[in-house]
Chain A
């Protein structure tokens, strides 16, 4: 049981950290200054969320674990994030759509986590929910803008859709640790999330003039540590100093 809770925390933290890390790659390279800052704000929220959750996990683990040992000293196979968040930024359309898929999923997840039987998680979810609500609004509006913008923006977001769609199924393919959390009330009513996600995506896609693809083959494995090749590079970069100078304070 404790193992499941620990893995569940890592899963939440890893999703936030890896997506935050990806978004931070935009910093200084955004399409317009105002949106550069918006992207970084979301990245800051996400890395902040991962810190909160890793601190909970570290407390559970004890033995000198910290948010940083969890972020910097685990290899890819120990990371539990979904494959969606580690996908490359691509162009702005791909970054936006990846963000929207994640936000539209995260929103109902965290709504449920606010009702968690675990008080720490419920408190964390309540704090994060304010951020997630804003993220979802921001990414939804951009999906609509790009879908209902120019021919080029429509073409690009459709290309992004083709790339990213096969990564959406994994969100709802619950791992053993999630099932255990649902059963114990830590993550109540997880079964309803998929329908809510689909409803939200349909709604925004309708406004954006985008079509929801058929449910087809979906990739998975992230929750079990089987990642795409991208994560190795993310971690190689992220963990470089901690690995090159082990045990130092920074």
Chain B
């Protein structure tokens, strides 16, 4: 039998924070996914805004490419403020 499609659910817990992935569920369409997300993932006032995305629409990076994707950033320490040596007396920087 055909299973209802899987959806990924993202919830904003309060204004000012970004939506965060909280889990997944099954639903036949986006309306139902939204309502199911409300019933499944906000029973304890966990959210004020919901995003639903059908799981098949998410592309994920391949962990096998992890090294080539992410390691090159590791030695670019000059992107971080602590890389620069400045005197302690200097304020507001």
Contacts and interface: CB of A to CB of B under 8 A. Distances in A.
Contacts of B4: 32
A45 to B, nearest CB: 11
Nearest to B26: A34
Contacts of B35: 38, 137-138, 141
Contacts of A41: 39, 43
Interface string A27-42: 0000011110110010
B26 A32 contact: yes
Contacts of B25: 34
Contacts of A35: 36
A58 B24 CA distance: 43
B40 A141 contact: no
A34 B40 contact: yes
A46 to B, nearest CB: 15
Interface of B: 4, 25-28, 31-32, 35-36, 39-40, 43
Given A33-B26, A38-B39, 15 more contacts: A32-B26, A34-B25, A34-B26, A34-B27, A34-B32, A34-B36, A37-B36, A37-B39, A38-B35, A38-B36, A41-B39, A41-B43, A137-B35, A141-B35, A145-B28
Interface residues of A, number: 11
Interface of A: 32-35, 37-38, 41, 137-138, 141, 145
25 contacts: A32-B4, A32-B26, A33-B26, A34-B25, A34-B26, A34-B27, A34-B32, A34-B36, A34-B39, A34-B40, A35-B36, A37-B36, A37-B39, A37-B40, A38-B35, A38-B36, A38-B39, A41-B39, A41-B43, A137-B35, A138-B35, A141-B31, A141-B32, A141-B35, A145-B28
Contacts of A141: 31-32, 35
B30 to A, nearest CB: 12
A49 to B, nearest CB: 17
